[in-house]
Amino acid sequence: MQTFTLPELGENLASGEVTRVLIAIGDTIAVDQAVLELETEKATVEVPSSVGGVVTDLRVKAGDTVNVGDVVLTVGEGEADSVVREPTEEGSATGTAVPARPEASAALGPSASAKVLPMPRGSQSPVEGSPRPAEAAAEVRGPGSPASPAVRRLAREIGVGPDDVTGTGPGGRLTMEDVKQYARSVLVRRGGAAAVHRAPPLPDFSRWGDVERKPMSGVRRKTAEHLSHAWATIPHVTQCDKVDITNLEALRKRHAALVESRGGKLTMTAILVKVLGAAMQRFPQFNASVDSESFELLYKRYLNVGVAVDTDRGLLVPVVRDVDVKNLTQIAVEVQAIAAKARDRKLTVEDMSGGGMTISNLGGIGGTYFTPIINWPEVAILGVSRGAREPVYVDGAFEPRLMLPLSLSYDHRAIDGADAMRFLRFVVSVLEQPFLLGLQG
């Protein structure tokens, strides 16, 4: 008999929620076969088994929260146990062999955008002399309840001390709703501030016709939480420019076959990954993160670029690493490979970690300009729209030139407008004169 325990998921990731179980008791599985679809703080990923054989025991089901090191399944060479978990309509296995470990999970509520100062441990109320509302599920106490990294992160982001709230989950575990309920109660006691940030309930749309409710996918929920946090905490500024890529497009077409013979595709995205690496090296404040707790800027010495990929589950951002030491052909091959992994649900948490800046290219769909939201904890993102031929005044006459619109969003806490425009103009100059990349680095 061999057991498979949940492996390390990535840096600072200690647990995840099971969204689907891909096998059942009695199945024969192979090493590296995906057995779970797990939702972490960063993405929904498939977890491969490190053991092979006949599944004799299965200890998780959809909705369970599993910690690193927990036993997921057992395999052997003989017949499976009599208790078999049949796949549900969602494709998850169910059964009664092991009790479930449910944990409340909810999307980031509107009130979470308001900062709430944690109350001192041992106090009876967030405001001295103010009674706690009966509807508040969490109580003030210390020391804190056990909580998943996602719950602790939510508490930290909205300014609640997780050690000040008692959990109502199984075994006293702190849930998302515990944190949000505590935050709402504090805001209500402070003069109705919650009313400013808390959205009213939706109207009854069925009064006007048929409606349909569909749950958000795991990736969509995480995207909503991540971008809500980024938009609420980062002072965004977006600056735009156009770049003449007429000559670059001719070069791209001329060398596309060579790159294709190496297994890649010479796209504008791949070219921009290389160019951004050079720009981040020249302007290090674009390869930084803001530590709002210590009021420090953290500058990264490595040059990694994230590439936003549109998938049927939502937006995923795998990372191309060490772009400064890779040539354009290598980057083109890697960009194509990670995009395929994203669409085939093969990305790991590590594949999407460690980015310094992100590219979001919507040019294949259309549009002119847009204002991309920064991929926190990064401080900048480059949006790319569709190139179009336009009349440009060159040497005393108008010529048809292929112009590419660029949109640079940046964190104004780390980057000033003048530096942002210098960065964008550097990107433009390299794209218009690719020789500069080799000349200046």
Which element (helix H / strand E) includes 406?
Answer: strand 397-411
Decide if pLDDT at 163 tops 90: no
290 domain residue, yes or no: yes
Stronger pLDDT, 328 or 63, i.e. the higher one: 328
Region 204-225: what's the mean pLDDT?
86
- One domain for residues 258 and 389: yes
Single residue among 197, 226, 251 that ends a domain in this structure = 197
231 domain residue, yes or no: no
**Is 412 labeled as catalytic in the residue annotation?**
yes
Tens digits of residue pLDDT in 265-296: 999 999 999 999 999 999 999 999 999 888 89
For position 13, which CATH number holds?
Answer: 2.40.50.100
Region 360-388: what's the mean pLDDT?
95
Catalytic residue among 197, 226, 236, 412: 412
The span from the CA of 16 to the CA of 357, in Å, is 26
- One domain for residues 130 and 20: no
Lowest mean pLDDT segment, chosen from 98-107, 166-175, 219-228, 239-248: 98-107
pLDDT for 52 equals 93
Prior bond of 434 cis (ω within 30°): no
Region 228-246: what's the mean pLDDT?
93
**93 phi, psi to nearest 5 deg:** -90, 145
Decide if pLDDT at 87 tops 60: no
Single residue among 166, 197, 228 that ends a domain in this structure = 197
CA atoms within 13 A on the CB side of 29: 31
CB-based contact 56:4 (threshold 8 Å): no
> To 5 degrees, how large is the angle CA 425–CA 427–CA 431?
115
Lowest mean pLDDT segment, chosen from 83-87, 95-99, 416-420: 95-99
Tokens coding 129: 């002399």
129 domain residue, yes or no: yes
- One domain for residues 379 and 297: yes
- Tell how far CA 290 is from the center of its chain: 17
- One domain for residues 419 and 295: yes
Tens digits of residue pLDDT in 378-403: 999 999 999 999 999 999 999 999 99
Lowest mean pLDDT segment, chosen from 69-83, 220-234, 239-253: 69-83
- One domain for residues 64 and 131: no
156 domain residue, yes or no: yes
385 domain residue, yes or no: yes
Decide if pLDDT at 84 tops 70: no
According to DSSP, the β-strands at 305-307 and 357-361 are: parallel
188 domain residue, yes or no: yes
pLDDT mean across residues, the chain: 80
CB-based contact 280:286 (threshold 8 Å): yes
341 domain residue, yes or no: yes
pLDDT for 201 equals 83
Lowest mean pLDDT segment, chosen from 108-122, 236-250, 314-328, 415-429: 108-122
pLDDT for 268 equals 96
Prior bond of 200 cis (ω within 30°): no
Report how far apart, in Å, the C-alpha atoms of 20 and of each of 114, 207, 209 are. 33, 35, 33
Taking alpha carbons only, the member of 32, 39, 48 closest to residue 15 is 39
The span from the CA of 132 to the CA of 186, in Å, is 9
Decide if pLDDT at 80 tops 60: no
Tokens coding 439: 């000349």
- One domain for residues 277 and 340: yes
Per-residue pLDDT band for 436 (boundaries 50, 70, 90) equals confident
Tens digits of residue pLDDT in 20-48: 899 999 999 999 898 998 887 667 778 89
pLDDT for 266 equals 95
Region 420-440: what's the mean pLDDT?
87
For position 384, which CATH number holds?
Answer: 3.30.559.10
23 domain residue, yes or no: yes
> To 5 degrees, how large is the angle CA 303–CA 306–CA 310?
170
Range of the domain at 12: 2-76
- One domain for residues 244 and 373: yes
Taking alpha carbons only, the member of 299, 408, 415 closest to residue 356 is 299
Stronger pLDDT, 91 or 310, i.e. the higher one: 310
Domains in the chain: how many in total? 3
- One domain for residues 367 and 299: yes
With the CA atoms of 152, 154, 160 and 165 taken in that order, what torsion angle do they form, in degrees rounded to the nearest 10? Answer: -50
